[in-house]
Chain A
């Protein structure tokens, strides 16, 4: 088992004829992902990466069973692409694009949440992977080995480092989700924890958080009340000055919101040990799982 994606997940790539879309479609296929169709407006009827390309998402869903869509559309059209996928009835939409105008995301996330039956992940995220079965993202698949730790992260490279460390130590990953570094994103930590709670393959969860916002605090509240499995935390950007945006648009401390102190206190109150380094994440997982 795993969460969200597995070997049967049939995938549509929006923006498959672009440079990024084409490159990553190929990489995803190599990692075992079942890509069944692509979509680029105006390129319908062509073939790309060995799959048919459609003009609209609706046409693609008419000809194929699509379980998930991954979006490589440039920022000006990215939120619109996510809405197109959602309105075509695709239940899982992964938005990789970075630099999307914030108001576009505010509107798209509000609309998609109101629909109630679509899970949007991202934008500005590396996507997700169930190693050996399905990669719906841009992460290097070779550092992910299949195993028993669920991994959720707001960053890209820290996720890869953590996945590699957990894989090298023999624990491996059940499913890993990079939720994205923007202030307005479709899925937060607390949305994913219940799924890991119910997944028999996942024995522990690692949350790689960072400064800014209050997703870590919300996650801690859920963990305290409901989580049946051990959780290990990590907070990036603990040395960052206030009011400065640290690369990720969401990684900014505003007033007293988003501080590392608040996140550490929330994790402590929920009994979640917090690692200071990525190597320490592995040690804390070892302490929980043996």
Chain B
């Protein structure tokens, strides 16, 4: 789960990391009001769940309250990569002397949380990593010891960061405390700013939470914003499905993440494009299949559905019953290609006899058929 910048900064502040004073505005007038209270130059930043806000015109400086009103008015409502800006952060502008990067990520290779530091902050760190990996210092943190102050100081020196060594190191230690305390999967400060007066502040922050651990943090799971996700992803998650909206027109339903991914690959291989990823999980009954069809068919891009089930615990006749119910209720009016291997395959065939649902013996044949039925290879 992604947090907004202002939410991330509130968490950092709770852990003692200095952030510039700032408040959220939903209207241009509120932005003006906040700027008046600060009585200083402010930066107005779109709060949307995507990167590249600056390039899209979602971040602007304002020297006066009136300018703040005007700039906030330009940013509110702005469409940034498909996300409509509904609120802006109005924060006191910082007097930047140096811009650094500090980030904690989960690293699969070391199987630890890795601290990354760079004195080249304020830019896209993935670009730095790709172009000049030597500009980034990495340190895998022992999960049972955490990040100790002496390690943090050594890392600050190694990264060549200038400024108050103790303040910089303390921020790194606190960032790890925050990461562990809220069960994050990513926590980044970019830029970590050393101001002209020598203070160190987190001028921007990004936090992604570990979904598996949200049950431990009810106060954070309340921050979930349904409008930030695709509405179909929200509906699917309410049914307990793993669902990802994609760009194509073939709806996909399968059991098991690996099989669904494979099904997407097959559709692409025969020239089609999947409209979604949907995993119904193991042992699904008719009503689950029916609900999955409801979600998939709500997507106006979907021209047909490919149901690919490996029957271990899932029974093919249950799948067929779910499909027939969707058809009888008029929800399902598009072509369906089914491939259901294993348990109760014969019973399923009997149920589907005389109905316009096509069953195929292999995944690849079903993929070819549904791509042909939805407009052919593109």
Indicate whether A106 sits within 8 Å of B262 (C-beta atoms), given known contacts A75-B212, A101-B210, A247-B257.
no
- Do the beta carbons of A103 and B111 come within 8 Å of each other? no
A89 within 8 A of B: no
A210 within 8 A of B: yes
Indicate whether A245 sits within 8 Å of B258 (C-beta atoms), given known contacts A101-B216, A184-B111, A250-B108.
no
**Minimal Cβ-Cβ distance residue in A for B309:** A157
- Do the beta carbons of B180 and A155 come within 8 Å of each other? no
- Do the beta carbons of A214 and B262 come within 8 Å of each other? no
Residues of B within 8 A of A156 (CB): 256-259, 282
Interface band, chain B: 35 or more
Question: Bound state CA distance, A139 and B212, in angstroms?
Answer: 24
Residues of B within 8 A of A256 (CB): 130
Encode contact with A along B192-210: 1 for CB under 8 Å, 0 otherwise: 0000000000000000001
Residues of A within 8 A of B180 (CB): 103
- Do the beta carbons of A239 and B144 come within 8 Å of each other? no
Residues of A within 8 A of B129 (CB): 255
**Minimal Cβ-Cβ distance residue in A for B248:** A239
Indicate whether A237 sits within 8 Å of B264 (C-beta atoms), given known contacts A102-B213, A155-B259.
yes
Residues of B within 8 A of A110 (CB): 111-112, 142-144
Find B213's partner among A101, A143, A239 (CB 8 Å cutoff).
A101
Find A184's partner among B108, B142, B213, B268 (CB 8 Å cutoff).
B108
Segment among A49-57, A58-66, A276-284 that sits at the interface with chain B: A276-284
- Do the beta carbons of B212 and A239 come within 8 Å of each other? no
- Do the beta carbons of A161 and B106 come within 8 Å of each other? no
**Minimal Cβ-Cβ distance residue in A for B210:** A102
- Do the beta carbons of B262 and A139 come within 8 Å of each other? no
- Do the beta carbons of B183 and A102 come within 8 Å of each other? yes
Give the size of the chain A interface in residues (CB under 8 angstroms).
Answer: 57
Residues of A within 8 A of B187 (CB): none
Cβ distance A97 to chain B, nearest Cβ, rounded Å: 10
A146 within 8 A of B: no
Indicate whether A106 sits within 8 Å of B113 (C-beta atoms), given known contacts A156-B256, A157-B310.
yes
Interface positions, chain B 51-76, Cβ under 8 Å from A, are none
Question: Bound state CA distance, A279 and B185, in angstroms?
Answer: 37
A224 within 8 A of B: no
Cβ distance A278 to chain B, nearest Cβ, rounded Å: 7
Question: Bound state CA distance, A278 and B342, in angstroms?
Answer: 16
Cβ distance B243 to chain A, nearest Cβ, rounded Å: 9
Find A160's partner among B109, B269, B312 (CB 8 Å cutoff).
B312
- Do the beta carbons of B106 and A106 come within 8 Å of each other? yes
Question: Bound state CA distance, A83 and B18, in angstroms?
Answer: 38
Interface positions, chain B 250-282, Cβ under 8 Å from A, are 254-262, 264-269, 274, 277, 279, 282
Cβ distance B35 to chain A, nearest Cβ, rounded Å: 34
A153 within 8 A of B: yes
Find B212's partner among A248, A249, A277, A279 (CB 8 Å cutoff).
A249
Question: Bound state CA distance, A158 and B242, in angstroms?
Answer: 17
- Do the beta carbons of B269 and A276 come within 8 Å of each other? yes
A159 within 8 A of B: yes
Indicate whether A251 sits within 8 Å of B257 (C-beta atoms), given known contacts A139-B312, A246-B277, A277-B363.
yes
- Do the beta carbons of A214 and B109 come within 8 Å of each other? yes
Residues of A within 8 A of B97 (CB): none
**Minimal Cβ-Cβ distance residue in B for A103:** B183
A38 within 8 A of B: no
Residues of A within 8 A of B266 (CB): 277
A170 within 8 A of B: no
Cβ distance A36 to chain B, nearest Cβ, rounded Å: 25
Residues of A within 8 A of B183 (CB): 101-103
Question: Bound state CA distance, A93 and B69, in angstroms?
Answer: 61
- Do the beta carbons of B111 and A143 come within 8 Å of each other? no
Residues of A within 8 A of B212 (CB): 75, 99-102, 249
Cβ distance B361 to chain A, nearest Cβ, rounded Å: 11
- Do the beta carbons of B108 and A160 come within 8 Å of each other? no
Residues of A within 8 A of B269 (CB): 239, 276-277
Question: Bound state CA distance, A245 and B211, in angstroms?
Answer: 12
For B106, B265, B364, the residue with the greatest tally of chain A CB atoms inside 10 Å of its CB is B265
Interface positions, chain B 328-378, Cβ under 8 Å from A, are 341-342, 362-364
Encode contact with A along B139-178: 1 for CB under 8 Å, 0 otherwise: 0001110000000000000000000000000000000000
Question: Bound state CA distance, A251 and B262, in angstroms?
Answer: 12
A236 within 8 A of B: yes
Find A158's partner among B109, B210, B256, B277 (CB 8 Å cutoff).
B256
A198 within 8 A of B: no
**Minimal Cβ-Cβ distance residue in B for A256:** B130
- Do the beta carbons of A184 and B106 come within 8 Å of each other? yes
Cβ distance B241 to chain A, nearest Cβ, rounded Å: 10
- Do the beta carbons of A76 and B215 come within 8 Å of each other? yes
- Do the beta carbons of A246 and B143 come within 8 Å of each other? no
- Do the beta carbons of A210 and B258 come within 8 Å of each other? yes
- Do the beta carbons of A236 and B106 come within 8 Å of each other? no
Can you identify 10 A-B contacts, CB atoms within 8 angstroms? A101-B210, A110-B144, A155-B256, A156-B258, A157-B255, A158-B256, A159-B258, A236-B265, A239-B267, A247-B279
Residues of A at the B interface (CB closer than 8 Å) are 75-76, 99-104, 106-107, 109-111, 113, 139-140, 143, 153-161, 164, 181, 183-184, 208, 210-215, 236-241, 244-251, 255-256, 276-279
User: Beyond the given A101-B213, A245-B244, could you list 9 further A-B residue pairs with CB under 8 A, ordered by the A residue number?
Assistant: A102-B213, A103-B180, A164-B341, A164-B342, A183-B106, A184-B106, A239-B269, A241-B247, A247-B279
The 8 closest A-B CB pairs, nearest first, are A155-B258, A247-B257, A157-B256, A101-B213, A157-B259, A140-B312, A158-B258, A239-B268
